[in-house]
Amino acid sequence: MIVSTRDPGKIIGWILRLIPSFSFGYGILNIGAKSTYTITENLTLDPYTNYDLNIAGGDILMMAIEGVFYFALIFVIEKIQHMKSIMQLFTME
């Protein structure tokens, strides 16, 4: 709403989208406030507006990327835990 804080707010919003719970909540909030965005950002109210990057599309995109990343990270952690040479570095035995 405040013009001077619009650009920093968008940058901070994209940084905070690295947290999945923020992406989920922010996406739902933006879908609920879609009528406000139609006034301030000249969007049309059609069913596909929800998937615009500024409404919920960016949040959906970030959650999909994070889902793949965290899923792969679990496999890497499990693989490291089963490598005895690396685990010996972390044990006191």
Query: Tokens 């693989």 label which residue?
Result: 79
* Gap between the Cα atoms of 24 and 60, Å rounded: 8
- Given pLDDT bands bounded at 50, 70 and 90, which one contains residue 44? low
- Given pLDDT bands bounded at 50, 70 and 90, which one contains residue 2? confident
Average pLDDT of the chain? 83
* Gap between the Cα atoms of 24 and 17, Å rounded: 9
- Given pLDDT bands bounded at 50, 70 and 90, which one contains residue 10? confident
Q: Is the pTM of this model over 0.85?
A: no
> Would you say 18 and 28 are in contact if contact means Cβ atoms under 8 Å apart?
no
pLDDT (tens digit, 9 = 90+) per residue, 14-32?
899 999 999 999 999 988 8
* Gap between the Cα atoms of 16 and 93, Å rounded: 41
Count other Cβ atoms within 10 Å, centred on residue 63: 17
